[in-house]
Each structure stands twice: as C-alpha cells, then as structure tokens.
Amino acid sequence: MTATTAPPGREVGARGARALVDLVFRARELSLVAALAVLVAVTAGINGNFLSGQGVEDILLNTAILALLAVGQSVVVITRNIDLSVGSVVGLVAFVTGDVLARGAGLVPAVLLGVAIGAACGLVNGLLVSFCRVPALVVTLGTLYVIQGLDHYIAHGRQINAVDLPPALLALGNGAVLGVPYLPLITLAVMLAVGAYLRAYPSGREFYAIGSSPEAARLAGVPVRRRVLAAYLVSGGLAGLAGVLWLARFGTVVGDSANGWELLVVSAVVVGGVAITGGVGSVYGAALGALLLTTIGSALVVLRVNPFWQQAITGALLLLAISVDRVLAVRVARLLRKGGRR
C-alpha cells in the first residue's frame, strides 16, 4: 500500500484512499466467504452429509496444510517475490522427520528439526534473492529441483510407514480437541499471528511497502534485503511445519510428497486476493483462498462431478481473480491520484 510513503501534507487524502483500499480488499475477503457459503449451501442441499460433523472436519483437515503454506507464501508474494520451492520443502521435511521419528526421536525435537530444515531452505532462497539479486522465480525454481533431488537422494526409494511413527504424531494428524482437529487449530494460530504482525507492526507494514515499490521503500529507509530475507525464512519455516503436519496426516510418506503443490499454493494465494505483483492482500484472504479451493475439490467429489472439472474450475477462478485484481488496481490508482490532488 503506497500510503506508507505518502508525504505528510496529503495525509487526509491518503488516509481516505487507504480506507478505500482496505474496503475494496475486505470486499474481496467477503466475496470469498460468500462464494464459499453458496458452494457449501448448494452441496449440502444436494447431499446432507457434506455438512455433517465428519464432513466439516474433513474439509478443515484437508485445508489445514494448504492454508498454512498459503500463509507463508503470501508473506513472500506481498514483497513482490515468489517461493516455488515450498512443495519440495514439504516433501523433504516430511521424509526426514519421518525418518528420524522412525529411528526413535522425540516428537518435539522432530518438529523443531522440521521447521529448522524448512527455515534453512528459506534462508538459501532469501539470501540468493535479496543479497545476490537473482530473480525470485529463477532462484526458487532452482531450489525446487535441488531440494526435490535431495529428497529423492535421502529417500532412495524407501518409504515411511504409519507403523514406524510414534502414536503421538499420528494422533496429531487426526485427533481433535473439543471436536476441532489439531491441524486447523495450528494453522489458525499461525495465520492470526502472521496476520497481526503484518497488519499492526511497523516492520510488518514494510513488507507491503517493499511490494508496492521496492525502490521507494529503499529510499524511505526500509531495510529491503532484511525484510525479503525474513519473508523467505517465514515461508520456509512454515513449509517445514507443513511437512511435519503432512507426515502426521498421511502417515505413509515416500520421496515425492507434495510434488507440484507449489502451484496449488500460489493459486490459493492469488485467489485469496494477494496480488502477484506485490503490496496487496492479507494472509486471511490467502487462507480463505486455500479453503475455497479445497472445498471445491471436496464438493465436486461429493456431487459426483467428473474430476476434470476440478482443475478447470481452479483455473477459471485464478483467471477471474487476476482479472478482478487488475480492474481494482486501475480503479484504486485513479482514486489515489484524485485523493492526492484534493
């Protein structure tokens, strides 16, 4: 949001414009909620089981990992970068933590190890993007393959089986507290924490400033490199956590888990209203995007629709989201110019 760098004299106009921008993008989140409501209502109308306790639990569980990745990804996308390596990180972490757990490691050290591996991958991405100035698309595409290769090398055709894992981890994957499964609770906690930080802390606002205009942010004294590095650390760390949750949820893990998920995550983020050009959007929107995509998948299965349509609908939603973003960006830019003149 350009408001951060607006000169003091234009504060009133800028504040008005900012409120407008906020409204526009809250409208995005609201429209996602509305789309979800319609989808759920129609599906539940045709098949009542969709909204049964088990049905809701299934959707929340299915969404948890994707939403967690989407939260991390949106932090990166907000800074006008991208992290394509998250799918590979999930796969690597799921296998490595599964391996150490099968050898008798404790649950807490294993979770910490998973997050640490993810953060280490994020560190590599971040250093290459922020300090070596290599375009994010290329860097993370490269690390996508490197990390995947590492995963394949470590796995070497082996498989982690549910029976090798400690019962505590498996319980984490499908257990619940007061009827709410653990996985979505973890995702919710992470989302609220990251969301609050980005929204309320000055350093959090700087992520948006960087995404709006990296050059302006640098001139305004924002430590661009450090913030971008931090964004990749968050994305990598959360991908690491997601890897552990993946293991907990599926129990059986081979060397190529979450293969191709990076694109699903980016889709969720974009559908959730985080502009791929940076500076705009929220982690709540991204998580909603993940929820919407997952729910569509589940609804189509329940409605017995040909699975081909699932991909087609995801694609159509993406195009719609990007078109809406473009239209909004043009409108908002025009309004901001007007606000500035007044």
Partner 1 sequence: MTPMRLTAAATLLSLAVAACGGTTKSSVTSAPAPAPASSSAAAKADPNAPLKEGMKLAFLPKQINNPYETIVDNAGIEAAKEFKGEAKEVGPSDASASSQISYINTLTQQGHDAILIAANDANAVCGPLQQARAKGTKVVSYDSDAAPECRDLFINQASSEEVGRSQVRLLADLIGKKGEIAILSATANATNQNTWIKYMKDELTKPDYKDMKLVKVAYGDDDDQKSFTETQGLLQAYPNLKGIISPTTVGVSAAARYISGSKYKGKITLTGLGTPNQMRQFVKDGTVEKFALWNPKDLGYLASYAAAALVSGQITGAQGETFKAGKLGERTIGANGEVILGPPFTFDAANIDQFDF
Footprint of partner 1 (CB under 8 A): 47, 49-50, 52-55, 57-58, 62, 148-149, 152, 155-159, 161-163, 170, 173-175, 249-252, 254-257, 297-298, 301-304, 307
Shortest distance (Å) from residue 60 CB to partner 1: 12
Contact 249, 38 (CB under 8 A): no
Helix axes 224-250, 182-200, angle to 10 degrees: 170
Amino acid (1-letter code) at residue 45: G
Residue 175 CB, nearest distance to partner 1 (Å)?
A: 8
Query: Is the Cβ of residue 21 or residue 172 nearer to partner 1 in the bound state?
Result: 172
Indicate if the alpha-carbon torsion angle 204, 205, 210, 211 is positive or negative: positive
Dihedral sign for Cα 168, 174, 180, 182, please: positive
Closest contact distance (angstroms) between CB of 203 and partner 1 is 35
3-state secondary structure of 64: helix
The span from the CA of 69 to the CA of 308, in Å, is: 24
Query: Which run of H or of E encompasses 110?
Result: helix 107-126
CB of 281 to partner 1, least distance (A): 25
Q: Which is nearer to partner 1, 152 or 226 (CB)?
A: 152
The least CB distance from residue 276 to partner 1, in Å, is: 24
Would you say 45 or 307 has its CB closer to partner 1?
307
CA distance 112 to 122: 15
Alpha-carbon separation of residue 102 from 162, 164, 170, 253 (angstroms):
9, 5, 12, 12
Q: How far apart are the first and last CA of the chain?
A: 19
Minimum distance of partner 1 from residue 176's CB (angstroms): 9
Nearer to partner 1, 120 or 302 (CB): 302
By C-alpha distance, which of 76, 89, 238, 263 is closest to 271? 263
Rounded Cα distance between 183 and 243, Å, is 12
Handedness of CA 206, 209, 210, 214 (dihedral sign): negative
Q: How far apart are CA 263 and CA 241, in angstroms?
A: 19
CB of 36 to partner 1, least distance (A): 17
To partner 1, the closest distance from the beta carbon of 323 in angstroms equals 28
